[in-house]
Amino acid sequence: MTSPLTVRVYGVRFGDAILITVPDLDRDGEEVERRILIDVGNVGIGEGGADFMFSEVLEDVRGQLDGRNLDLYVLTHEHLDHAQGLLYAEEHGIEIRADHAWLPASTEDGYYTKHEDARKKQLAMRRSYDLIKKHFAAKENPAWLEAMLLNNDYRSTAKCIEHIKRNVANDVAYIHRDYDIGPHNPFQETRFDIWAPEENTAVYYKGLRSVADPHDRTQEGAGLQQPSDLLPPSGVDADAFYNLVNIRKNGYLSNLLMIDQAGNDSSIVFSMEWRGRTLLFTGDAGQLSWEMMNRPDIGKIREVDFLKVSHHGSVTGIPSIEILDALLSPGAVNQKKEAVVSTYPGTYGGIPAESLLKERVESRCKLSYVDKGKVADGKFIDIEFPPLHTP
C-alpha cells in the first residue's frame, strides 16, 4: 500500500486554512505528492480575527512545498475569513504560488455582464451593505456584528481576490457546478466533482427588506418626491407607526444576515475521489446551497468518508438530518468516517452551534475540532486517510 492522503487543518481562529497532501501519479505512472491549499483567512477583527498566526501557517505550507508551487489553490468564496490570508502573506514577505487556482465563477471579470439578474442582486446587496455599514457606524456594536460587517465588506475582499487572480496562480479557473475543470485539473489519478455553486449565483440571493437610510440624500430618488421624512401620516397612531418603522429598521440585521448567507451559499463545494476514499470540502455552504445540491435534478448528495463541516459549525452550515444521513451514516457513530470543524467560539453569534454539532455530526462520525484550546494558533491537526486500494 502507498502513503495516506493527509488533510491538514490549521488553527487560524475564526477562519479556514486547509492543506491537502495527495499521493498522485505523474504522467509516467510514478507516485508523486500533490498539494491543494483551500482558503486561508480569518474574520479579521477581534479575538477571532487575529492575524499573527498566518506567518506560521504559511511558512508551514511553504515548508511542505519545499520550493515547489502548490498544485492547486481553491478559494471557496468571497468572504474575508477565507480570502484574506494569501494577501497577508505577500505583504509579510511570504510568497505562495500555485500552478492552478480555482475561484468562484462570480469572481471572473465580466461575470456580471453575462448574468444580468445576478448583477442586479449583487448591486442591491452592495447598496444595502453600504447602508448597513453606515447605520452601524460610530455605534457600540457587539463583537459578532463587527465581525460580520467586516467579513462581508466587499471592498476589502475584492483586494484579496485581485491578489489571488493576478499574482498567485499561473492558471485561474472560475468554477461552478457545470464547469469543465479538465484543463485546470493538475491531478492524474484523483477525481474531482464540483457540487456547487450554481453558475448563476442569483439563486442564492433572497429578498432584501427596504431599509434605506431616510437621512441619506445621496440615494437614488431621494428628495425628488419631497418626502415627509419619518413623521407619521395624519390619521395614523404615532406609536404604531414608529413600531412599524423600528421593525423595518431591524431589517438592517436581517439584510446583513442575508448578504452573509448569500456569500456563504456561493461557496465552491467539491468532492475528491482518491483510491476508494471520498472527501468533501464545503467552504461555508449554507442551507440554500445544501438544498440545491440535494435537488433531484442536481443529485450531488452521496456518501463520503470525510466532511469538512461548513461555515464553522453554524446552524445554517450544518446540513439537514436527511442530507447528513446520506453523507455520513444514519444511526450509530461510524468510526471510519471523519469530519472536522474549524471554528472559534464567541466570534460570530451562535457559532459553533455546539448542540447541533453533537446531535447531528458527532452522532454519525468522528468529529475533530480545530478551535480555541484544542489547536494552538498557527498549529494544525492532520487527518490521514490510508488508501483503500492501490492506484
Q: Which three cell numbers stand for residue 259?
A: 448578504
CB of 116 to other proteins, least distance (A): 6
Whether the Cβ atoms of residue 169 and residue 93 lie closer than 8 Å to each other = no
CB of 282 to other proteins, least distance (A): 15
Is the peptide bond preceding residue 233 cis, with omega within 30 degrees of 0? Answer: no
φ, ψ for residue 177, nearest 5 deg: -60, -35
Degrees to nearest 5, angle at CA 378 with 21 and 80: 85
Q: Is the CB of 21 or the CB of 343 nearer to other proteins?
A: 343
CB of 344 to other proteins, least distance (A): 14
Q: Which three cell numbers stand for residue 227?
A: 418626502
CB of 306 to other proteins, least distance (A): 22
Q: Is the CB of 131 or the CB of 168 nearer to other proteins?
A: 131
Q: Is the CB of 302 or the CB of 358 nearer to other proteins?
A: 358
Q: What's the Rg (C-alpha) of the chain? A: 22
Q: How many CB atoms lie within 10 A of CB 154?
A: 17
CB of 120 to other proteins, least distance (A): 7
Q: Is the CB of 153 or the CB of 189 nearer to other proteins?
A: 153
CB of 146 to other proteins, least distance (A): 14
Distance CA 285, CA 87 (A): 23
Name the residues that contact other proteins, by CB under 8 A. 116-117, 120, 124, 206-214, 216, 219-222, 225-237, 239-241, 243-244, 247-248, 250-251, 253-254, 256-257, 287, 315-316, 318, 320-322, 349-350, 353, 355-356, 359, 363
Three-state secondary structure call for residue 144:
helix
Q: Counting Cβ atoms within 10 Å, is residue 41 exposed (0-12), middle (13-18) or buried (19+)?
A: buried
31-42 and 70-74 beta bridge pairing: parallel
DSSP 21-57: EEEEE-TTS-EEEEEEEEEEEE--SSGGG--THHHHH
CB of 231 to other proteins, least distance (A): 7
**Residue at 86: amino acid letter:** L
Q: Is the CB of 181 or the CB of 212 nearer to other proteins?
A: 212
Q: Is the CB of 208 or the CB of 381 nearer to other proteins?
A: 208
Q: Is the CB of 232 or the CB of 387 nearer to other proteins?
A: 232
CB of 4 to other proteins, least distance (A): 34
Q: Which three cell numbers stand for residue 130?
A: 453600504
Q: Counting Cβ atoms within 10 Å, is residue 62 exposed (0-12), middle (13-18) or buried (19+)?
A: middle
Q: Is the CB of 23 or the CB of 352 nearer to other proteins?
A: 352
